[in-house]
Amino acid sequence: MNAPLEATETTLHDQVRDEGFAFVHGDDMRRLFEHTHAMSDWPAFAASWNALEPDTYLAATGRFRRRRHAVYASRAGHIERQPHQAHFQTLAYNTLQGDIARWFEPVLPEIADSASMHAILDYCREFFGSLSPEIAHWHIEVHQFRIEATAGAAGEPTPEGSHRDGVDYVLVLLVDRENIASGTTTIHAPDGRSLGEFTLARPFDAALIHDPRVFHGVTPVTPLDPALASHRDVLVVTFRHA
């Protein structure tokens, strides 16, 4: 773990600036989010992961996950949802599915415009903006992911392996974890050296990542009890200089 017992805006800023990443315990992360908006609708926000649609692009490679996607823009401190559009990464950043315009089902409007979503996005805008104050216009993408695991097939949160996303900053936020073992987040230097690892185990546990500096990945997940359903739900938010 590289985070203090109680994370503050200053300590997290210093960690991401100096080390390229920070792990944030859930209680601290929620407290920081709620400096901008109350998150009283969190139960409905978290429940929306039950309505994700299959990632048909990944299914074509013999793997399985569910997801939804949304795009926002931030200009002059104001965040506005954009028309639904494709998600695109180059092969340099995603060797498994790069150079493909991937169209995913959109985040449901009531979730995309919810108080919880805006609390998360506004916090990220303020935090990442403090690290890069020269950037006035951000392209923001939001991904809801559900990774499912069965007795016969481990779930792969990052099937492309340890990677960068090709953006400036990334938030990975745990929403729910049910009957899941492993799923350890690993952070590596570009030369492959291990810089840290931690497990997002409780709701609001999070990682803040400076994407150009470090690679990140997550180990495969397996069910604790093979007879029961299992899933790992995360929200991934990326900020890129537009």
Q: Which is more confidently placed, 224 or 62?
A: 224
Q: Which of 1-15, 50-64, 92-106, 143-157 is modeled with the greatest confidence?
A: 143-157
| Nearest alpha carbon to residue 9 among 1, 135, 77, 28 | 28
What mean pLDDT, rounded, does the chain reach?
A: 89
Residue-wise pLDDT for 90-126, tens only, equals 555 555 554 577 789 999 999 999 999 999 999 999 9
User: Which residue segment(s) compose the domain that 130 sits in?
Assistant: 1-241
Comparing 60-69, 120-129, 185-194, which segment has the lowest mean pLDDT? Answer: 60-69
Q: Tell me how far apart the alpha carbons of residues 138 and 210 are, in angstroms, rounded to a whole number.
A: 15
Output the six-digit token pair for 124.
């990220």
Residue 89 binned pLDDT confidence (cut-offs 50, 70, 90): low
For the chain, give the percent of residues with pLDDT over 70: 89
- Determine which of 23-27, 57-61, 67-71, 165-169 has the lowest per-residue pLDDT on average: 57-61
- What's the pTM? 0.91
The count of other CB atoms within 10 Å of the CB of residue 92 is 10
**Residue 153: its pLDDT value, please?**
77
The CATH number given to whatever domain includes residue 77 is: 2.60.120.620
Q: By percentage, how much of the chain surpasses pLDDT 90?
A: 70
Residue 187, exposed/middle/buried by CB under 10 A (0-12, 13-18, 19+)? Answer: buried
CA-to-CA dists, residue 103 to 68, 69, 84, angstroms: 9, 8, 9
* CA torsion through residues 60, 61, 62, 67, sign: negative
pLDDT in tens, 172-190: 999 999 999 989 999 999 9
Looking at the structure of the chain, the number of domains it has is 1
**Cα–Cα distance, 176 to 173 (Å, whole number):** 9
